[in-house]
Amino acid sequence: MELVRHSRGYEIKGGCHMKHLKASLSFAAIGTLLLASACGSTAPADEKPKSGDSSSTAPAAPAGPLSKYPTPIEVTTVRSVDASIKFVGSDTIDNNEWTRAYLDELGIKLKYNWIATSGEDSAQKMNVMIASGDLPDIIPVNAIQLKQLVEADLIADLSDVYAKYASPLAKKFMEGNSPEQLNSAKFNGKLMAIPNTNSSIDGASILWVRTDWLKKLGLSEPKTMDDVGNIAEAFAKRDPDGNGKNDTFGLGINKGIGGGGIMGLAGFFNGFHAYTGSWVKDASGNLVYGSILPEVKPALLKLQEMYKAGLLDKEFGVKDGAKAGEDAVAGKIGLYYGAMWNPINPLQKGKDLDPNMEWGAFPIVSVDSKPARPQVGNPVFAYYAVKKGAKNPEAVMKMVNLFVEKGWGEKQDFDNFFTSKDGIELFKHSPFNAWSPTKNLDVHLAVVNSLKTGDTSKLNGEQKSTYDKIKKFNEGDNKNWNQARVFGESSSFAVINQYQNNNLPLMSQFFGAPTKTMGEKKATLDKMELETFTKIIMGEPIEAFDKFVEDWKKLGGTDITKEVNEWAKSAR
């Protein structure tokens, strides 16, 4: 199972569709919304308008981040629309609360050059559009497409636009979490797009444990890696479900091994201070690939030991996250590393089947006295570039500002712009987004405070909705158990709050588009890594890891490392 981030939440690819989480979690990655955006403005001083360009007659841009054009302007963009996008009344993608707000509050009339109806359709249209150079004013792109446009010299430098027009709150979102978010859109120091920012801490690994099994077997909560091993052994061999059969596993694991999601082992490796699939700094400040570092070996040896002892599912190599999640639902697994959203999928299904099933969220644990640091990725999943020579390049920043303000600023209006009272996800109508890096954590903190005090007067619409659901669970409605375990007092966000307060999340230090050699060889190297790690867990001598490191370097890893470090120098 793969978690795909979307604007306001998550979607499961190859598994359950987590509709409510999209409405309540701002883990905003633009999946089907990846192709959404619009803009145009007076050409920067260093760009001469081409013959026939109307830049010289463009209306002067109003000075403020949210000020309105005295004469309405038209800006063009493209986007993708899928079946999950619903509308209120007779509204459409061309005429809805967001397009009306752009015109009424900013003086911007938004026009779509094309609208795709599937991921495949949008990818084809985007490829043709970029290849032809027939671009709209604002181009919503991923990191690879952004790099292509920069190299083709087709898009404008937005450094001055950002400096002059980004609202203080938008700047806080894009710079407050970490400089990596904004830097990911920079090339040779120039800001070439506005990033759609999201949360990195929401991706931190959580240790999920069947606390009803802990209680039944007289076990303590996990504090160390030894505790994880002891709990795994007890859950595998001491019949925690009480059915008299040897049919439970110790530690859940899926075939992806090092990832996150459901039963990925990123958090397990992090407990050994290993960061597979991530780029980290070495002692000299250079970037190195975490999967080839020595810290990985003891983690693999521990997994090998657990596999040999019968604590891991012997068939893990053929189970993806969705399939492994079914074992948790069926009561076969009571311990695994996963994501903060797991109570929504898959664990709520298990709770529905067995109301006595209880899962607790715990921080990942360390193998020694050094704290375990959960690895996280850079929280940018889409970019809004502007066509070179567009008449009003600042328009994109103004529309991003409006999204930020409608969600968290003085113009905050959750019910009319994010999720309607009858559950329609209005935020999906907005083509230009930027999300608070702590939005979900803020929901947790606000809701927990209201649960303690009974005062809901300061909750926004989203927070009040979450509060109401947790109250229903506390009153006996098990259908809302997932909300309590994600946002309540004993929840995944209570764990993430601990991570945040102790400055533990460790972000990958490479967040640019794939380098040349990555594009050519990364898939082969990744396959070799997964195959080697799987074989070692299943019993192959640990020396296979050293051979893997040697081969990784020879087959392209050395060149990739060089390119990554060159990128690191140019991105700042």
Interval 94-124: pLDDT, tens: 999 999 999 999 999 999 999 999 888 998 9
The pair of structure tokens assigned to 202 is: 């929401």
The pLDDT, as a whole number, for residue 422 is 83
Q: Is a pLDDT exceeding 50 seen at residue 184? A: yes
pLDDT band at 220 (very low <50, low <70, confident <90, very high): very high
Can you tell me the mean pLDDT for 456-474? 93
- As a whole number of angstroms, the distance between CA 310 and CA 300 comes to 15
The pLDDT, as a whole number, for residue 59 is 64
pLDDT tens sequence across 166-178: 999 999 999 876 7
The pLDDT, as a whole number, for residue 569 is 84
Residues near 476 by Cβ (< 8 Å), separated by ≥ 6? Answer: none
Q: Is a pLDDT exceeding 90 seen at residue 10? A: no
The pLDDT, as a whole number, for residue 180 is 80
Q: Is a pLDDT exceeding 80 seen at residue 496? A: yes
What domains does the chain contain, in order, with CATH numbers?
A: 34-47+54-200+382-429 (3.40.190.10), 206-373+514-571 (3.40.190.10), 439-501 (no CATH)
String of DSSP letters for 512-564 = SSPPHHHHHHHHHHHHHHHHHHHHHHTT--THHHHHHHHHHIIIIIHHHHHHH
Can you tell me the mean pLDDT for 289-299? 98
Bigger pLDDT: 158 vs 414: 158
Q: Is a pLDDT exceeding 50 seen at residue 30? A: no
The pLDDT, as a whole number, for residue 571 is 63
The pLDDT, as a whole number, for residue 181 is 84
The pLDDT, as a whole number, for residue 34 is 33
- As a whole number of angstroms, the distance between CA 564 and CA 455 comes to 50
Kindly give the pairing relationship between strand 190-191 and strand 186-187. Answer: antiparallel
Q: Is a pLDDT exceeding 60 seen at residue 13? A: no
pLDDT band at 62 (very low <50, low <70, confident <90, very high): confident
Percent of the chain with pLDDT over 90: 77
The pLDDT, as a whole number, for residue 141 is 94
The pLDDT, as a whole number, for residue 55 is 42
pLDDT band at 5 (very low <50, low <70, confident <90, very high): very low
CB 427 within 8 A of CB 8: yes
The pLDDT, as a whole number, for residue 27 is 31
pLDDT band at 421 (very low <50, low <70, confident <90, very high): confident
Question: What's the whole-model pTM score?
Answer: 0.84
Q: Which of 32-41, 99-108, 200-209, 430-439 has the lowest mean pLDDT?
A: 32-41
Q: Which of 53-67, 454-468, 537-551 has the lowest mean pLDDT?
A: 53-67
Strands (E), 183-312: 186-187, 190-191, 194-197, 206-210, 279-281, 287-289
Report the alpha-carbon angle 12-296-539, nearest 5.
90
- As a whole number of angstroms, the distance between CA 528 and CA 531 comes to 5
Q: Which of 26-30, 164-168, 350-354, 410-414 has the lowest mean pLDDT?
A: 26-30
Percent of the chain with pLDDT over 70: 89
Q: Is a pLDDT exceeding 70 seen at residue 50? A: no
pLDDT band at 370 (very low <50, low <70, confident <90, very high): very high
pLDDT tens sequence across 352-368: 999 999 999 999 999 99
pLDDT, mean over the chain: 89
First-to-last C-alpha distance (Å) of the chain:
35
Can you tell me the mean pLDDT for 287-299? 98
Q: Bridge partners of 224? A: 366
pLDDT band at 551 (very low <50, low <70, confident <90, very high): very high
Q: Give the amino acid at 154.
A: L
Can you tell me the mean pLDDT for 147-156? 94
The pLDDT, as a whole number, for residue 51 is 34
